[in-house]
Structure 1
Amino acid sequence: MYLEIVSPEASLFSGNVVSVTVPGVEGEFQMLNNHAAIVAILGKGKVKFKGDASFVDGQEKNFVQEDGQWVLDINSGTVEMKENNVIVLVD
């Protein structure tokens, strides 16, 4: 699936990934290929993904690696997944 992570300041990541885990307001959830279409509000926590490290314009400084995943701390945001395309808007 294709993941884009965007903040108000910049595009942080875009590339193919195997999985995406996000901090929903009711708890963490994971999306894999062919996941049902979803739009959700995100709470404070970590956006995690496994896949190629295709960072935009040196934005890798915002991410850390934990347990074979790339991780980004966020305060809030939204996520939309449709037809194996995931867009995460973070704050």
Structure 2
Amino acid sequence: MKLEILTPEKKLFSDEVYGVQMPGVTGLFEVLDRHAPLISALTAGKLKVLKDKNNNELNYTIQGGFVEVLNNNVTVLVEGAVQI
């Protein structure tokens, strides 16, 4: 699936990934390939990008925002994010 992480200033990430874990307002959740359509609010916390099945990952600390999952594309819109 394709993941994009966007802030008001710039595009932080855009690539094919295995999955992504995000801090939703009701708790942590994960989106994998071919996930059902979804829109959710995100809280400040850790976003984990699962690059492949071999535990290769990138981690970001994010501020609040939103995520949209549609047609195997995941778009994360956040106020700010820093790769850790």
TM-score band w.r.t. shorter chain: 0.7 to 0.9
User: Normalising to structure 1: TM-score of the pair?
Assistant: 0.80
Cα offset for 1:75? 1.6
Are 2:66 and 1:78 equivalent residues in the alignment?
A: yes
User: Normalising to structure 2: TM-score of the pair?
Assistant: 0.86
Quick one: percent identity of the two aligned structures? 44
Structure 1 unmatched runs, 5+: 53-66
Q: Would you identify which runs of 4 or more consecutive aligned residues in structure 1 move more than 4 Å?
A: none
> What are the superposed Cα offsets for residues 15-72 of structure 1, whole Å, 9 maximum, x if unpaired?
00001111000000000011110000000111111117xxxxxxxxxxxxxx742111
RMSD: 1.3
Matched residue count: 77
Structure 2 unmatched runs, 5+: 80-84
User: Residue 87 of structure 1: which of 69, 72, 75 is its match?
Assistant: 75
